[in-house]
Structure 1
Amino acid sequence: MINIAIIGGTGVYDPRILSNIGEESVDTPFGGVKFLVGEYANKKIAFIPRHGSKHSIPPHLINYRANIWAMKHIGVRNILATTAVGSLNLAMKPGHFVVVDQFLDFTKGRVSSFYEGGQRGVVHVDVTDPYCPTLRQVVVTAAAAADISIHASGVYVCTEGPRFETPAEIRMFAKLGGDLVGMTNVPEVVLAREAEMCYSTVSMVTNFAAGISSQPLTHGEVLDTMRENSEKIKRLIMKTIELTDVQDCTCQHALREYGGFKL
């Protein structure tokens, strides 16, 4: 049984924290998904590089529905996602880790539901706690055990991309309570919620956002910060896997009033 999946964001493409790695694939109603399966701490782990192994898929074209559907199909109950983000919060500095607990959705053209009428019908999923509180606490505990400093909460502002944000947009997001800005967490987190899976995001701050940063933003600085902190995020993921158990959770009953999620 594959209970845990890692969805790796920018800079987290290396599955070599796992052993006995092999490639598998699943056909979904939204397209085929290829992913890796390996082992760590006597557990089978699925691994998807969100942007592709060579960062060839831009954020607005990622097949989020296919990825989440495929993980549900193989039995995954816990998803640990990583994201690279800019910071709107001066307390969350480049190199810091944040366990996101809320989001603001500023995407524009993405399908954010498995339920678009027709045979599947329509659902209105509750996202009071969009990120699994239980799995978030496991990440915080793992960070302490691995001697990694981490922010236990933060508001992720998701933009459409692939461009970076303007200083005016960043000022608006900050006034609305945003802490971090990125391009990939929505609709991924919403789809995981609909699919009744525990989902948690570890965001790595790679830069201060536009207008806060003293220089123009580049994708290169994002990758540089990720490389500098790659060992830390690997240790955090590995310790989280060690501490994650198969357990029941309210996330796994998010569509109870609709009869549950059906593949």
Structure 2
Amino acid sequence: MAKQAQGEHTPVGIIGGSGLTRLHALKVERQEVISTPYGEPSAPLTFGRFDGNPVVFLPRHGAGHTLPPHGVNYRANLWALRHVGVERAIGMAAVGGITSVMAPGVLCVPDQIIDYTWGREHTLYEGDLENVTHIDFTEPYCAELREALLESASQVGVPIYNGGTYAATQGPRLETAAEIKRLERDGCDVVGMTGMPEAALAAELGLCYACLALNVNWAAGKGDGPITMAEIEHNLEQGMGKARKILAAVAAV
């Protein structure tokens, strides 16, 4: 496990999602390839600094954005971050807005999640076990890190929505309008494809994990016409500047 400089807090882990793989304010110090019991992570870990504060960055979909949501090795990613000393991890996510408050461009810190994925390697507790292990997942996100994200957003003057339920769908296709209606009936506010099993694996590893979600489009049937990549890319570009300010502030905590 990597050691930190004397008097320095442990680095914040940042898992980047679609369009969130480049953090322009990050001063890169080194990259490290980590081998894990669960195979290779999505990419080498990037060690760097935000305004002098240590962070470890991992692009969830690979350095060239080649891994679809169902093909990400979530177990290796989370294990690698924990192995190098990360204790707090922020999962960045580009999501679609379902409820009226989740308009494109809105940043939110979800407090609940519903898992609609299937067939993914979703637990570390399998194989040759001495005991069956169940984790409490009543509150899927770390309250301490959620509060740090919200306070940091306030400090840097970035509006952010506190709460919301994240619907984790299988992908890589987007959802039908009928599926979104179902998710809304289930109580979901935003929809994405990478929230699970990432959150549950973080809990199994004892990581303090929270999600910083950027709404990049209305979910299917909620906007005017079809969802376009041009719309998504525009909102990503507009929102990432705000997200970077929040991340830099959290890294200092």
Report the TM-score when normalising by structure 2.
0.92
Normalized per residue, the structure richer in helix is 1
Q: State the number of aligned residues.
A: 243
Match of 2:164 in 1: 154
Match of 1:47 in 2: 57
Q: Percent identity?
A: 37
Q: Is it true that 1:164 corresponds to 2:174 in the alignment?
A: yes
1:141 offset after TM fit, Å?
0.4
Distance 1:55 1:82 in 2: 14
For residues 41-82 of structure 1, the C-alpha deviation after alignment (integer angstroms, 9 at most, x for no partner) is: 443211001112221111010010000010111111000111
Identify which of 75, 84, 108 aligns with 1:65: 75
1:215 offset after TM fit, Å?
1.3
1:159-198 pair list within 5 angstroms: 159-198=169-208
1:119 offset after TM fit, Å?
3.6
SS, match of residue 46 in structure 2: strand
Letter aligned with residue 154 of structure 1 = G
Q: Is it true that 1:36 corresponds to 2:46 in the alignment?
A: yes
**8 Å contact from structure 2 (residues 11, 251) kept in 1:** no
Identify which of 2, 22, 25 aligns with 1:17: 25
Letter aligned with residue 158 of structure 1 = A
Q: What is the RMSD of the two structures over their aligned residues, measured on CA atoms? A: 1.4
Which runs of 5 or more residues in structure 2 are unaligned? 5-9
Which runs of 5 or more residues in structure 1 are unaligned? 244-263
Report the TM-score when normalising by structure 1.
0.89
1:120 offset after TM fit, Å?
6.3
SS, match of residue 184 in structure 2: helix
1:118 offset after TM fit, Å?
1.2
Distance 2:217 2:15 in 1: 21
**8 Å contact from structure 1 (residues 106, 159) kept in 2:** yes
Q: Is it true that 1:139 corresponds to 2:137 in the alignment?
A: no
1:1-263 pair list within 5 angstroms: 1=4, 2-33=10-41, 34-119=44-129, 121-243=131-253
Q: Which region of structure 1 is more displaced relative to structure 2, 142-151 or 110-119? A: 110-119
For residues 2-41 of structure 1, the C-alpha deviation after alignment (integer angstroms, 9 at most, x for no partner) is: 4311001111111332224211011001112311001234
SS, match of residue 216 in structure 1: coil
Distance 2:170 2:147 in 1: 29
For residues 126-147 of structure 1, the C-alpha deviation after alignment (integer angstroms, 9 at most, x for no partner) is: 0111100011001000111111
**8 Å contact from structure 1 (residues 107, 159) kept in 2:** yes
